[in-house]
Amino acid sequence: MKKKIVVLTGAGMSAESGISTFRDSNGLWENHDIMEVASPEGWQNNPALVLDFYNKRRAQLKEVKPNRGHEILVELEQQFEVQIITQNVDNLHERAGNTNILHLHGELVKVRGEFSENESMYWEDDIYIGDKNNKGEQLRPDIVWFGEAVPAIDKAIPIMQQTDIVIIIGTSLQVYPAAGLMHYAKSNVPVYYIDPNPASIYDLPNQLEVLAMSASVGLEKIQLQLQ
């Protein structure tokens, strides 16, 4: 039976594809205060601005492609059962070709009615004020905003409890509950953390290897190590 690897990815995973992270730019996401474009309050204050922001992010997906790091995660499937758990809302893991991907914070290519969090639909185009679902609710991106529940965490925890290896990539580990997920791994499971500017990790009983480098370079090293 193949060993299981859980890969927890954050915005840094997509940095080499040209998608910016937000904590690298003073807490701004593409020049916006994060609460303006990624919170229920921001949506209430200015829904047109929020829709426009995500329309631009969705359009950007058509101009970027998976990077070498994404490709290595696909190659690892030859030897391991790989489960990606991503905080990213882009679709680069899917486009690279990984089989098992869980999005913790939603997806840019999905929309839902503003009051129907469990009914999302695939959507590649722009969304405008006045675009509605079949219940007459305004459409919004199917993204988990700050202050909203993270329902996918209930699937992520048991996956983490059963894994043999954990690889964490490109995350500042400041957004919970995602940042706490590694603590569900069994204590004999090795944890690798790739990030050029890694956060401090405390109170983890596991063997921890920090690779302070980009996702693609760090993954090349881990791929060799795991062979």
Which residue type sits at 88? N
Of these, 31, 45, 174, 225, which contacts ligand NAD (CB under 6 A)?
Answer: 174
* 167 is a site residue for ligand NAD (CB under 6 A): no
In whole angstroms, the minimum distance from the beta carbon of 182 to ligand NAD comes to 13
- Give start and end residues of each alpha helix (H) in 65-208: 68-75, 92-96, 153-161
**Coil, strand, or helix at residue 195?**
coil
* Rounded CA separation 139/114 (Å): 6
Q: Are residues 1 and 9 in contact, defined by beta-carbon separation less than 8 angstroms?
A: no
Which of the residues 199 through 218 are near ligand NAD (CB under 6 A)? 214-215
* 7 is a site residue for ligand NAD (CB under 6 A): no
- Is 105 catalytic? The answer is yes
The bridge status of strand 106-113 relative to strand 139-143 is antiparallel
By C-alpha distance, which of 116, 73, 121 is closest to 95?
A: 73
Of these, 50, 171, 192, 219, which contacts ligand NAD (CB under 6 A)?
Answer: 171
The one catalytic residue in 32, 70, 105, 183 is 105
Token readout for 15 is: 């940095």
In whole angstroms, the minimum distance from the beta carbon of 199 to ligand NAD comes to 6
As a three-state string, the secondary structure of 116-153 is: CCCCEEECCCCCCCCCECCCCCEEEEEECCCCCCCCCH
In whole angstroms, the minimum distance from the beta carbon of 134 to ligand NAD comes to 28
* 141 is a site residue for ligand NAD (CB under 6 A): no
In whole angstroms, the minimum distance from the beta carbon of 132 to ligand NAD comes to 25
* 83 is a site residue for ligand NAD (CB under 6 A): no
Residues 6+ apart with CB under 8 A from 4: 80, 81, 83, 162, 163, 164, 165
**Which residues does the annotation mark as catalytic?**
105
**Which residues contact ligand NAD by CB under 6 A?**
10-12, 14-16, 19, 21-24, 29, 87-90, 105, 169-172, 174-175, 194-197, 214-215
Binding-site residues for NAD(+) sit at 10-29, 87-90, 170-172, 215
